[in-house]
Structure 1
Amino acid sequence: MQVPGPFEYERATSVAHAVSLLDRLGDSAMMVAGGHSLLPMMKLRIANPEYLVDLNDLVGELGYITVEPTVVRLGSMVRHREALQSADLNAVCPIFRDAELVIADPVVRNRGTVGGSLCQADPSEDLTTVCEVLNATVVAQGPAGRRELSMAEFHVGPYETSLEPNELLVEVKIPLRANTSSAYAKVERRVGDWAVAAAGSSVTLDGPTIAAAHFGLTAVNPDAEALAAAAAAIVGKPASEETFAEAGRGAAAACEPTTDQRGSADYKRHLASELTIRTLRTAVARVLNA
């Protein structure tokens, strides 16, 4: 039987309380929200915290979804189910609904949180790509106050973030632009599985012309700079199938997938191209039909 090692447990009653606990306990403590990633790691003794700080009583402080004229704010304790069902969020960022529909299963979505997914920093995790495509920033709170980080600054490597041991992720901020929409698509072996490959796109139109674009890829070792270059290459061009195909070729060249039980590297590279084309086409259609 797989069981975690011994640990002490405390339930945080507020953000300030959680930060004070983390500040006192240091890197011997870990936080738990939904627990779907951490608890299996604890059972396998991959993670062995001496202290576990439960964040579930912080839903009142960090469980909000606020849509303002120029920005969307999501508290880090927003459950996946809540993001999926939020009409306000999905009216301005439909990529969230696309992604949340293919994250795990209803049991996981009922308990898992937006902040927990981002802090796990799994290369196959969907919301990381969503936030990258939307040019989101995250807000961390520690004893000295709050600081904002881009997704590139926040995620420093697989399963590693730039959060200090005494900091808590409290918010995700997404800027809004007129004539902009987004989409996400994923290929998985079975419902609830990690992605074989997935892609997200965000596009801003100026009439029939692409004024801005962002691409993201999941589970295929993307090169962020190369993806940015591929997106920049279609700016100023018509929102046409020829342009979408160019974007797909750029996405395929901007990743280095590996062959594994989910598929060959060539197959995953093909998916990176095809899913980028599909999400870009969908995002454009959403702008035009808004």
Structure 2
Amino acid sequence: MKASAFAYARATSVENALELLADQGDRAKVLSGGQSLMPAMNLRLISPELVVDIGGLAELRGIAVKEGILTIGALTRHVDLLKSTEIAVHAPLLADAVTHVAHPAIRNRGTIGGSLAHADPASELPACMIALAATIIVRGPGGERRIAAKEFFTGIYATAMSPQELLVAVELPVAPKGSTHFFHEFARRHGDYAIVGLAAQAVIIDGRFADLRLGFFAVGDRPLLAGAAGKLVNVAITPAVLSVALSALADELDPQEDHQATPAMRRHLAKVLLTRCVAALLCRPELDAGALV
């Protein structure tokens, strides 16, 4: 199939893009990398009347660190994240996660802003944003808004942005001393949509979690910042403590059934991932002895 007929406008600035969006409202869609938008249009899952191309806006590209904050422009491509020294040093979780995003051709065109605005619940980067306590910066007719990542994603392909707003950047706190991370996903093939995945950021002091943020994806209609992490912070991790956390996680999950997995399978895989995450971050392989996958 091919997309329905649509008008095309190439934005010359952020302000110009906002003017176009304000004029068209929900009849317009923003084109950044196009790796999610164009397939959806070709399948006629969406049929915008106007496509606003922001791909030429250099002001929305780039990675910078200032005063403990890592800022990533919305048009920064996945491949730029992989090559960035700043990302490798200050947000290595992102570098690990991006290697799981589709395939090189997609990573060469896809952008971080496009991925976050698309809000696919099986996507890697939204889960990373909640694990890293990111702030999503959007701009609209009323000015700039700063939205915590955990509040940005509101449902399947749904965000807290209005149709007149544009995602312009992401801010991440620089990883503190003693921080570490974990990323893994189960997929049928590398590059396929995840069946279940986990992006985790932690601070470990004297063999215990001083902080732990667990961002699960493909387990519901949006990425999940798991409250079960609280069961593992500032306590000595024993099999009994881990078991309590696993039970708490199972209660939080609301996975859907699809052609890839049943809800029971997704719950099981999420518990496996949490077990492996804790064992890997604490260098305690004995905790992972019961993980069967």
Alpha-carbon distance change, 37 to 224 in structure 1, aligned in 2, over 3 angstroms: closer
The question of 1:45 aligning with 2:44 is answered: yes
Query: Once the 2 structures are TM-superposed, how far is the Cα of residue 121 of structure 1 from its aligned partner?
Result: 1.0
State the AA in 2 paired with 1:227.
A
Partner of 1:5: 4
Query: 2:81 is matched with which residue: 80, 83, 95?
Result: 83
Alpha-carbon distance change, 18 to 224 in structure 1, aligned in 2, over 3 angstroms: closer
- Secondary structure at the aligned position of 2:190 is classed as coil
- Secondary structure at the aligned position of 1:277 is classed as helix
Alpha-carbon distance change, 186 to 20 in structure 1, aligned in 2, over 3 angstroms: same
Alpha-carbon distance change, 226 to 250 in structure 1, aligned in 2, over 3 angstroms: farther
Query: 1:203·1:280 contact (CA, 8 Å) conserved in 2?
Result: no
Query: Once the 2 structures are TM-superposed, how far is the Cα of residue 267 of structure 1 from its aligned partner?
Result: 2.5
1:51-105 Cα shifts (integer Å, max 9, x gaps): 11001101x2111111234221111111011112212212222211221111100
Query: Once the 2 structures are TM-superposed, how far is the Cα of residue 141 of structure 1 from its aligned partner?
Result: 0.7
Distance 1:24 1:186 in 2: 41
State the AA in 2 paired with 1:4.
A
Alpha-carbon distance change, 155 to 258 in structure 1, aligned in 2, over 3 angstroms: closer
State the AA in 2 paired with 1:105.
H
Query: Once the 2 structures are TM-superposed, how far is the Cα of residue 193 of structure 1 from its aligned partner?
Result: 0.8
State the AA in 1 paired with 2:211.
A
The question of 1:35 aligning with 2:50 is answered: no
Q: Which is worse superposed, 190-199 or 249-258?
A: 249-258
Distance 2:61 2:236 in 1: 40
Query: Once the 2 structures are TM-superposed, how far is the Cα of residue 233 of structure 1 from its aligned partner?
Result: 1.4
Query: Once the 2 structures are TM-superposed, how far is the Cα of residue 279 of structure 1 from its aligned partner?
Result: 3.0
- Secondary structure at the aligned position of 2:151 is classed as helix
Partner of 1:288: none
- Secondary structure at the aligned position of 1:195 is classed as coil
Query: Once the 2 structures are TM-superposed, how far is the Cα of residue 189 of structure 1 from its aligned partner?
Result: 0.4
Query: 1:201·1:276 contact (CA, 8 Å) conserved in 2?
Result: no
Partner of 1:200: 199
The percent identity for this pair of structures is: 33
What is the correspondence of 1:96-111 to structure 2 with a 5 Å cutoff?
96-111=94-109
Distance 1:121 1:224 in 2: 9
Structure 2, unmatched stretches of 5+, are 284-293
Query: Once the 2 structures are TM-superposed, how far is the Cα of residue 124 of structure 1 from its aligned partner?
Result: 0.7
Q: Which is worse superposed, 248-257 or 31-40?
A: 248-257
TM-score (ref. length: structure 1):
0.89
Partner of 1:131: 129
1:18-53 Cα shifts (integer Å, max 9, x gaps): 112212222221101111211121122221111110
Q: Which is worse superposed, 128-137 or 13-22?
A: 13-22
Query: Once the 2 structures are TM-superposed, how far is the Cα of residue 275 of structure 1 from its aligned partner?
Result: 1.4
Structure 1, unmatched stretches of 5+, are 286-290
What is the correspondence of 1:167-182 to structure 2 with a 5 Å cutoff?
167-176=165-174, 177-182=176-181
Distance 1:226 1:31 in 2: 27
Partner of 1:218: 217
Alpha-carbon distance change, 241 to 111 in structure 1, aligned in 2, over 3 angstroms: farther
Distance 1:14 1:45 in 2: 28
Partner of 1:17: 16
Distance 1:29 1:222 in 2: 24
Query: Once the 2 structures are TM-superposed, how far is the Cα of residue 238 of structure 1 from its aligned partner?
Result: 3.3
Partner of 1:118: 116
RMSD of aligned C-alpha atoms?
2.2
Alpha-carbon distance change, 224 to 189 in structure 1, aligned in 2, over 3 angstroms: closer
Partner of 2:232: 234
